[in-house]
């Protein structure tokens, strides 16, 4: 319970112009996801992945299927600004970095995976394997 409330009263209402994530009220209490949010829907004989990637370009994203795992990677580079002609930053909240998400999906029709990227949303259609075993019941004696 001690982590829910700040220890010093000054930290409770951070300065609007504070530097760094440590001064952001919401990040302090609720945290900020460091990976993209993914929805996976089973639609008949395929899976549909919807991945939120705001601020990423199509060129920043890679998708790979290997050994039953679907892996989604992204890398967004920081642009170096050497000269500030229009003033100086008081606070900068653009995020840069890399992420990797892996999902075990088993055997699929890997040659038929399709994807699209539009307005920061990656959509993947992953067909299930037609040769997969449906499972069987084991008789216990």
pLDDT mean across residues, the chain: 76
pLDDT-derived band at 86, boundaries 50, 70, 90: confident
Q: Widest CA span of the chain, in angstroms?
A: 80
Residue 106's domain is classified under what CATH number? 2.60.40.790
Summarised one tens digit per residue, pLDDT across range 13-44 is 444 444 444 445 544 444 555 678 999 999 99
> Does residue 7 fall inside a structural domain?
no
Mean pLDDT lowest for which of 25-29, 62-66, 93-97?
25-29
> Does residue 72 fall inside a structural domain?
yes
> Does residue 86 fall inside a structural domain?
no
> Does residue 62 fall inside a structural domain?
yes
> Does residue 44 fall inside a structural domain?
yes
DSSP state at residue 30: H
Domain that holds residue 47: 33-78+95-130
For residue 61, the Cα-to-chain-centroid distance in whole angstroms is 11
pLDDT-derived band at 83, boundaries 50, 70, 90: low
Residue 64 has pLDDT above 80, yes or no: yes
Distance between CA atoms of residues 78 and 89, nearest Å: 15
Average pLDDT on 114-122 reads 95
> Does residue 51 fall inside a structural domain?
yes
Residue 61 has pLDDT above 90, yes or no: yes
**How many domains does the chain contain in total?**
1
């Amino acid at each position: 319970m001690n982590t829910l409330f700040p220890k010093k009263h000054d930290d409770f209402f951070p300065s609007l112009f504070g530097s760094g994530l440590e001064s952001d009220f919401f990040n302090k209490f609720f945290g900020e996801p460091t990976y993209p949010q993914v929805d996976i829907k089973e639609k008949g004989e395929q899976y549909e992945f919807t991945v939120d990637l705001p601020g990423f370009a199509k060129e920043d994203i890679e998708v790979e299927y290997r050994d039953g795992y679907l892996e989604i990677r992204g890398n967004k580079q920081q642009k170096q600004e050497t000269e500030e002609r229009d003033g100086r930053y008081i606070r900068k909240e653009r995020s840069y970095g890399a992420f990797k998400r892996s999902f075990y999906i088993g055997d699929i029709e890997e040659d038929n995976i399709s994807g699209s990227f539009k307005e920061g949303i990656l959509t993947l259609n992953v067909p299930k394997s037609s040769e997969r075993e449906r499972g069987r019941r084991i008789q216990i004696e």
